[in-house]
């Protein structure tokens, strides 16, 4: 039984306790990744108040000696072992093209801000370029594209050798998953249009050949079917990359006769808006647009338009934070399977000119 002091959490008591706990970490008695006993147990062990324990632990946390994960516990931080370098985390989407895309850019911004805060090195690692014999194995990996399990990198990830987090793509219990429920969010968006009185709602998007595009198309269908609304070839258009995007949009809008349009991604919105302008279709009086993307970074959040805004920055931060837990705690890390909810933003119509 250890006795540090009694009574209130005086500076001398909690600082002395902080030194005792720090010595246990420095000496190796408490090793990196070890879970520290709860505050109540420590208070009983050292015969001090929980307030004293809390202040001592707060000091250790500020010093970077321990890490607190709400609801999971307090753990010894790896960074206090002198021989241990900073974490090196690979990601699969930092090409010049993707970094400029608002979708990937927002995720990347969140990851990099979290990395700066926790002194983590983030680098681009294409899965097909990973060579265990020629390069250092990453401490962890984040991927946003469909994983090819035949590649050595994802083979190691699937076995739990390399901790990893996927966005919208899961592998197994060893691999964390952070996701947007694209089908549910699309259904909720179409229900938003229905609640505003629209009955002729068209779908304008990519062919349902990828997981995301298929989920968004299914969400539109589900909302229409649940509401008893008609859907057929006249109110569905799958974008054809081989055809002129503006001609496609103009032909569809001219023939569809709908009052609302769900656009599955911002990349398809500009031709639609150009066609509406050419056909003198006004928003929202003639047609209401709902786009599944954050339009504000693109300058397309025009008056009268609505869009589904995904919390991509927060998702980026959460992925790296969850991956850090997996790296530090190993098999003791909690399973990560989280879904983030999107937000429907409706831009007010432009004021009428007097």
Q: How many CB atoms lie within 10 A of CB 332?
A: 14
Q: How many CB atoms lie within 10 A of CB 219?
A: 25
User: Which H or E element spans position 344?
Assistant: strand 343-346
CB 184 within 8 A of CB 218: no
Q: Sketch out the chain's domains with CATH numbers.
A: 11-80 (1.10.10.10), 88-179+313-341 (3.40.50.2300), 182-310 (3.40.50.2300)
The reported pLDDT for the residue numbered 156 is 94
The reported pLDDT for the residue numbered 98 is 43
CB 35 within 8 A of CB 75: yes
CB 127 within 8 A of CB 136: no
Over the chain (354 residues), what is each successive 10-residue block's mean pLDDT?
48 81 84 84 89 87 76 70 67 56 81 89 88 85 93 94 94 94 97 95 95 95 95 90 95 91 94 94 89 88 89 95 90 89 86 58
Residue tagged 């050949």 (tokens): 209
The reported pLDDT for the residue numbered 231 is 83
Name the token pair of 351: 């004021």
């Amino acid at each position: 039984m250890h006795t540090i002091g009694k009574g209130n959490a005086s500076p001398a008591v909690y600082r002395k306790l902080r030194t005792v706990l720090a010595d246990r970490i420095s000496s190796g008695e408490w090793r990196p990744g070890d879970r520290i006993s709860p505050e109540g147990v420590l208070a009983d062990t050292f015969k001090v108040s929980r307030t004293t324990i809390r202040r001592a632990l707060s000091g250790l946390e500020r010093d970077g000696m321990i890490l607190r994960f709400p609801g999971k516990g307090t753990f010894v931080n790896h960074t206090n072992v002198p021989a241990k370098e900073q974490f090196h985390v690979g990601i699969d989407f930092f090409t010049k093209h993707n970094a400029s895309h608002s979708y990937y850019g927002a995720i990347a911004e969140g990851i990099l801000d979290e990395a700066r805060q926790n002194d983590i090195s983030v680098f681009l690692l294409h899965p097909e370029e990973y060579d265990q014999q020629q390069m250092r194995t990453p401490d962890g990996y984040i991927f946003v594209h469909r994983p090819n399990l035949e590649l050595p990198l994802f083979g190691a990830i699937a076995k739990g050798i390399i901790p990893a987090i996927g966005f919208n793509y899961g592998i197994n219990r060893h691999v964390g998953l952070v996701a947007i429920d694209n089908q549910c969010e699309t259904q909720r968006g179409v229900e938003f249009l229905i609640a505003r009185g629209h009955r002729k709602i068209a779908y304008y998007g990519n062919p349902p050949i990828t997981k995301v595009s298929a989920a968004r198309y299914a969400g539109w269908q589900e909302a229409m079917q649940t509401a008893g609304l008609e859907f057929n070839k006249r109110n569905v258009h799958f974008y054809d990359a081989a055809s002129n995007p503006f001609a496609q949009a103009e032909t569809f809008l001219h023939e569809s006769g709908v009052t609302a349009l769900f656009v599955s991604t911002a990349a398809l919105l500009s031709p639609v808006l150009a066609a509406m302008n050419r056909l003198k279709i006004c928003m929202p009086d003639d047609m209401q647009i709902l786009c599944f993307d954050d339009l504000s970074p693109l300058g397309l959040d025009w008056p009268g338009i609505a869009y589904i805004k995904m919390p991509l920055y927060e998702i980026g931060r959460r992925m790296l934070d969850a991956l850090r837990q997996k790296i530090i705690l190993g098999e003791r890390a909690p399973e990560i399977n989280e879904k983030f909810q999107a937000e429907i933003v409706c831009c007010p119509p432009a004021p009428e000119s007097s």
